[in-house]
Amino acid sequence: MKKEYTLTIFTENKIGLLHRITVIFTRRKLNIESLNTSESEIRGIYRFTIVVTVTESMVQTLVKQIEKQIGILKAFYHTLEEIVYQEIALYKVPTHAFADGNEVEKLIRNHNARILRIEPEYIIVEKTGHKEETQQLFRDLEQFGILQFARSGRIALTKQIKEITAYLKELEMQQDET
């Protein structure tokens, strides 16, 4: 059965690693639903967060094939219950939508969104949340005309207590000199 999985991948910052990772998905014609990368809590170690919908045995294979690439330190996969995650969305709406009554204002308040910028022609609204939430605001704003919309990839932290530093130590211990 297919399910949504969030992959967390720790890498050394090496040019080309992103390509090596994405090739593993494209080879099997799998759609990467979202991808984000940033430096992790350890300087020089990068964290990739990838969302895919596949079977569990497929995600296991993917994680192993990713982890095998040189420059990848560790890769994990998680279900939604195992992570705390967030996405951010930006919406550009025409300013005149706000002029007629207070409906838009109410929407923004109810959605816990906030206004980043007000210009005579447009207003930029920001909302963080899960995809369903940012999507709901999108639907609610649609009637007022959305000029632009963008949503970030998912970022996620895991609930597990064992942190990456512990895994990196294990990695050191695991090998013999060749």
Partner 1 sequence: MQTKTDARKAGKQETIERISGAEALMRALIIEGVDTIFGYIGGAIMPVYDALMNYEDKVRHVMVRHEQGAMHAAQAYARIKRRPGVVFTTSGPGATNTVTGLADAMLDSTPLVVITGQVGAAMLGTDAFQETDVVSVSMPLTKWNYQITCADEIPEVLAKAFFYANSGRPGPVVIDITKNAQFDEVDFDYKKISRVSSYVAKPRPDIADIDKAADLINAAKSPLVLVGQGVAISGAQEEFKTFVEKAGLPVASTLLGLSAFPSNHALFTGMLGMHGNYAPNINTNKCDVLIAIGMRFDDRVTGNLETYAKQAKIIHIEIDPSEVDKNVKTDVAIVSDAKQALELLTPKVKNNSHEDWLKSFAKLHEVEYEKVIRKDIHPTKGMMHMGEVINRVSEKTKGEALIVTDVGQHQMASARYYQFNKKDSLITSGGLGTMGFGIPAGMGAAIAKPDRPIFVFVGDGGFQMTVQELGTLAQYHLPVKIILLNNNYLGMVRQWQELFFDGRYASTELVNPDFLKIAEGFGVPGKQISDREALDSTLDELLNVEGPFLLEVKVQKMGNIFPMIPAGATVSDMRLE
Q: How far is the CB of 9 from partner 1 (least distance, A)?
A: 12
Burial classification of residue 9, based on how many CB atoms lie within 10 Å of its CB (0-12 exposed, 13-18 middle, 19 or more buried): buried
Q: Are 7 and 76 in contact (CB under 8 A)?
A: yes
Stretch near partner 1 under the rule CB under 8 A, chosen from 28-36, 70-78, 89-97, 137-145: 70-78
Length of the chain: 178
Residue of 45, 123, 59 whose CA lies nearest to 91: 123
Q: Are 54 and 33 in contact (CB under 8 A)?
A: no
Q: Are 147 and 94 in contact (CB under 8 A)?
A: yes
Residue closer to partner 1 (CB basis): 22 or 135: 22
* 32 binds partner 1 per the rule CB under 8 A: no
Q: How far is the CB of 142 from partner 1 (least distance, A)?
A: 40
Note the Cα 171 to chain centre separation in Å: 26
Of residues 4, 42, 71, 135, which one binds partner 1 by CB under 8 A? 71
* 72 binds partner 1 per the rule CB under 8 A: yes
Stretch near partner 1 under the rule CB under 8 A, chosen from 20-28, 113-121, 137-145, 147-155: 20-28
* 19 binds partner 1 per the rule CB under 8 A: yes
Provide the token pair at 109. 């308040």
Sites of contact with partner 1 (CB under 8 A): 12, 16, 19-20, 23, 27, 57, 60-61, 64-65, 67-68, 70-73, 168, 171-172, 174-178
